[in-house]
Structure 1
Amino acid sequence: MASEPIDDLAGGHAGVPRWQQALLPGAMRAAPDGRRSARDWFVDVLMFLLALGIGALLLAESWDDHTTATAAIDVVLGIAATIALWWRRRHPVAVAAGSGVLALAFAFPAGAALMAYFSAVLRVRVRALVALSLLGGGASITFPLLYPSQDPTSTEIAFGLMLTVVVLGWGLFVRVQRELVRSLHERTARAESEQRLRIEQAQAAERRRIAREMHDVLAHRVSLLSLHAGALEFRPDAPPAEIAEAAGVVRASARAALEDLRTVIGVLREEGADGNGAAAPEPPQPTLAQIPALVEQSRATGTRVGCRIDLAGLDGATVGDALGRTAYRIVQEGLTNAHKHAPAAAVEVAVVGLAAGDGAARTERGPSADGPRLVVEVVSRPAVGMPPPARGEMLPGAGTGLVGLRERVALAHGELVHGPDARGDFVLRAILPLMGAGR
């Protein structure tokens, strides 16, 4: 009769420390390889000792009913049944059935039969379990009949049946516990897999969205560059001042286009709704200039928002549209998180330009960098004495906003950090290098 192991948790407890995995059954470890764990060895030794002890006790009680030959056979069969317990995990039905049949007529194998029956309860199907339970009940009846003692036969039969029921109940309890652990593990693994999938989808969607945003800007830069280069080609006799002016425009357009191209490179564009590869038209995208309007929108909701935009440290360097959009999205995400998780907090928005070699004193927090850069920081300060909002009062979120923001900052070759600082304020800070500056 085939068996169906139910405690095989392949791939199991990857998050469980190694010393704790040693206390788990071998099949429930992170990488089951067929080897016994420390717990398995302990259980094996304990079962061998119990099987030998119970068998020896029953043999001693029925010794007077044995001849020398039958006693020797009883001992040999009992030792063989105890040794067979080594294979009870791989062949639970065969080991339990074989030792159970021997226990119908012999005393020493009864201890091994009881241990094998408990092990089979953990692993076999219901039909096999019923058959093994009937076999165990039969042994509880035949043993007092073959080896009567001073106690009434009915008492011994009742005790044997009760012992079989206790072992059955205990085994079913352990079985349910293992099934519960397996279901919880599978649920956790499925949740982790779904979360990884959501993060990957958010990253891919952010890449595609950035590519769509860059399409119109990059095309505009290249068209301007082509237009002025064409003017230089068809008017070689133009005055030197006009040639110099056109060359300057070409140089500026090429620098801006290179900055946009560095942002987009490696990003795959999604086919448009028409299926011909053309991206669907998008509305004009916000830049650095729209941050004050974004702050005013938050103020209109009652949020206390301070805003400081200081680009004087850039020494005349300009912030491109691509970098401005990234700064805008950082401020937008910071204000959104403040609205969701700390509606009563005071928010400070700082957009500061730092020149090459300048320290980070202007932001009071950010690290230094080599080249000119833009530091965008959103600090949320909880109100003093105001308890945090209850979970039911917080606005729901998918948890992928910061994932997309990190992807956007990485594409701008910047650095993003977020989390509480030493004062307990939540800080969202990005350091964005000006890629085209000084080139």
Structure 2
Amino acid sequence: MNVTELRGDGAIAQEYRWALPSVLLGDGRAGGRVRRSTRDWIVDILMFLFACGLTFLSLMDLEAQRQPEALLFVEQVTGALACAGVWLRRRWPVGFAVVTSLLSSYLDLVGGASVVALFTVAVHRPFKISGPITLLGLVTLAPYVALRPQTDEDRTWALALGLAFVLTVFAWGIVVRARRQLVWSLRQRADSAAEEAKRLERERIAREMHDVLAHRISMLSLHAGALEFRPDAPPGEIARAAGAIRTNAHLALQDLREVIGVLRHSASDGSGGEAGEGAVPDRPQPTLADLPALVEECRHAGLDVRLDLRADGAPEGLGRNLYRIVQEALTNARKHAPGAPVTVTVEGAPGKGLSVQVRNPLMARQGAVRHGARLPGAGAGLIGLTERAELAGGRLEHGPTPEGEFSVRAWLPWPAETERESGG
């Protein structure tokens, strides 16, 4: 099971959370084939040399004690096999630790491999497994101290040294395991943060595409519907409608090209540096000052709209959000209430916030005669506007009013500090 598979399901990832460092280090897991990385080979070689070094030191001590030849032969053979078994510690860590712990209850030369096995279990297994293994290692000190040392003083030193050694190795393994889990957790958080940033960027691009393209395409449909409804219109009106269709189609393609250019730039230049050859620069975003031009464009398209603008000097981000709200509201009015008069009221000041209300007669919205088929929609426009307003710290409401109108009302915060900054 690789990391990608674990990320695919949250429940599985949570279940294997504490085992992940072991998997990443090439742990064979239940006797499976071990795939060691370069780091794993270096660690295994160092562990093997460490076990051999402890075994050699113990062998020198045994020769100095002049142990029986038969016991010395058994010690040497068992010690050599235990050192060779260090290479199997990743495939059978628990079994190897149990066997070496039991053998070390009497044999000296198995001690090096037993230490390596205990450390491996402490690093690669949770406490519910490594704890009993460590307890077994402490229990095996009793028969060793009772059978091998020659004097009471030797037994006391052997017991104290054994307890300290076993507990130190276990504590060291626990610390290494905790550090690896911390690193893994930080990597997971970083990956999650990166994925969240990508998701938010995709949503932002989708929202911009909807806000811009829905407006352009609705203008195309409106002019095309007029041509379809009045094929006998004067040539001048047909020419103006055709020109408006061409202009809006060109602008829609330009907006789409810019969005695709941003996506390509993000895919080819993840560092966020300068765009490479062929990258499409971002077009200046609309602000509150562009709102009269938007209303005038809608008037040329045949929409009866009146603008009451009583705000000026709004920050760029604030003005852009309000522009998109008005743009989507006018697009919805053209879709659902063609021919109905629309009133746009914008007012605000620093410290009081910026508010907008777009309203049109409800009866016309529901029952007006439409030229051609009704414009299709995903029904997500007002939802997107609500999200946009909430992300900006404001609010948006929409629905019928007691006066028989459909109204879209939004309020966005306008901090008082911006007034002083712009004046300074």
1:225 and 1:249 in contact (8 A); partners too: no
Of residues 180, 196, 200, the one that matches 1:194 is 196
Alignment match, 1:119? 120
Q: In the alignment, does 2:50 pair up with 1:45?
A: no
Residues in 2 aligned to 1:287 and 1:299: alpha-carbon distance in whole angstroms: 14
1:85 is the counterpart of 2:86: yes
CA distance in 2, matches of 1:286, 1:265: 21
Look up the match of 1:57: 57
The Cα shift of 1:95 comes to 1.0
Alpha-carbon separation, structure 1, partners of 2:313 and 2:295 = 15
> What letter matches 1:299 in structure 2?
G
In 2: Cα distance, 1:250 partner to 1:218 partner: 9
Q: Matches of residues 137-152 of structure 1 in structure 2 within 5 Å?
A: 137-149=138-150, 151-152=153-154
> What is aligned with 1:249?
240
Q: What is the Cα deviation at residue 250 of structure 1?
A: 4.9
Structure 2: distance between partners of 1:7 and 1:57: 35
CA distance in 1, matches of 2:79, 2:69: 15
User: Equivalents in 2 of 1:9, 1:287: separation in Å?
Assistant: 60
Paired residue for 2:173, among 171, 196, 199?
171
1:299 aligns with 2:313: yes
Hey, which of these two has a bigger chunk of helix by percent?
Answer: 2
1:97 is aligned to 98
Secondary structure at the aligned position of 1:184 is classed as helix
Contact kept? 1:26, 1:37, Cα under 8 Å: yes
Amino acid in the other structure paired with 1:191? A
Counterparts in 2 of 1:196 and 1:289: CA distance versus 1, 3 Å: closer
**Is 1:258 the counterpart of 2:282 in the alignment?**
no
- 2:186 aligns with 184
What amino acid sits opposite 2:247 in the alignment? A
Equivalence for 1:8: 20
Deviation at 1:246, TM superposition (A): 4.9
2:157 pairs with 1:155:
yes
2: distance between equivalents of 1:75 and 1:296?
A: 96
Q: Residues 349-398 of structure 1, C-alpha deviation per residue, up to 9 Å, x if partnerless?
A: xxxxxxxxxxxxxxxxxxxxxxxxxxxxxxxxxxxxxxxxxxxxxxx978
* Aligned partner letter, 1:159: L
Aligned position for 1:210: 212
Distance in 1 between residues matched to 2:175 and 2:54, nearest whole Å? 23
In the alignment of these two chains, the number of paired residues is 262
Once residues 18 and 87 of structure 2 are traced to their aligned partners in structure 1, the CA distance between those partners, rounded to angstroms, is 18
Q: Distance in 1 between matches of 2:22 and 2:103?
A: 35
The gaps in structure 1 that reach 5 residues or longer are: 13-24, 28-32, 232-241, 268-284, 302-320, 326-338, 340-395, 399-439
Code of the residue aligned with 2:313 in structure 1: it is: R
Distance in 1 of aligned mates of 2:66 and 2:135: 26
Partner of 2:410: none
- The 1:128/1:257 distance shift into structure 2, 3 A limit, reads closer
State which of 266, 287, 291 in structure 2 corresponds to 1:286: 291
Alignment check: 8 A CA contact 1:78 1:109 kept: yes
> Using the alignment, how far apart are the partners of 2:142 and 2:34 within structure 1?
38
Cα distance change, pair 200–143 in 1 and its aligned pair in 2 (3 A): same
Q: Distance in 2 between matches of 1:11 and 1:102?
A: 28
Preserved CA contact (<8 Å) 2:22 2:124: no
The letter for the 2-side match of 1:252 is: G
1:358-437 alignment to 2 at 5 Å?
none
Letter in 2 for 1:185: R
Summarize the alignment of residues 335-346 of structure 1 with structure 2, pairs less than 5 Å apart. none
> Alpha-carbon deviation of 1:103?
0.8
What residue identity is the alignment partner of 2:47? M
Give CA deviations for 1:195-219 in whole Å, capped at 9, x if unaligned: 2222222222332333432354223
Q: Could you give the per-residue CA deviations for residues 119-158 of structure 1, whole angstroms, max 9, x where no partner exists?
A: 1111223232232112211333333332225653112111
Distance 1:47 1:11, change over 3 A: closer
CA distance in 2, matches of 1:262, 1:289: 18
Deviation, 1:114, is 0.8
TM-score, normalising length: structure 2: 0.52
Normalised TM-score (structure 1): 0.50
Q: Say which SS state the counterpart of residue 122 (structure 1) adopts.
A: helix
SS at structure 2 position matched to 1:230: coil
- Kindly tell me: are residues 286 and 263 of structure 1, through their superposed partners in 2, closer, same or farther at Cα, counting changes over 3 Å? farther
Corresponding residue for residue 75 of structure 2: 74
Distance (whole Å) between structure 2 residues aligned to residue 85 and residue 250 of structure 1: 84
CA distance in 1, matches of 2:52, 2:157: 24
1:26 to partner: Cα distance: 5.4
Q: Which sits farther off after the overlay, 189-198 or 144-153? A: 144-153
Give the 3-state SS of the residue equivalent to 2:130 in structure 1.
helix
Instruction: Supply the RMSD in Å over aligned alpha carbons.
Output: 4.2
Q: 1:195 & 1:220 partners in 2: Cα distance?
A: 37
**Percent identity over the alignment?**
24
Cα shift at 1:297: 4.5
DSSP 3-state at the match of 2:47 = helix
**Any idea what the Cα deviations from partners look like across 1:272-295, whole Å, max 9, x if unmatched?**
xxxxxxxxxxxxx9364689x9x9
Distance apart, 1:70 and its partner CA? 2.2
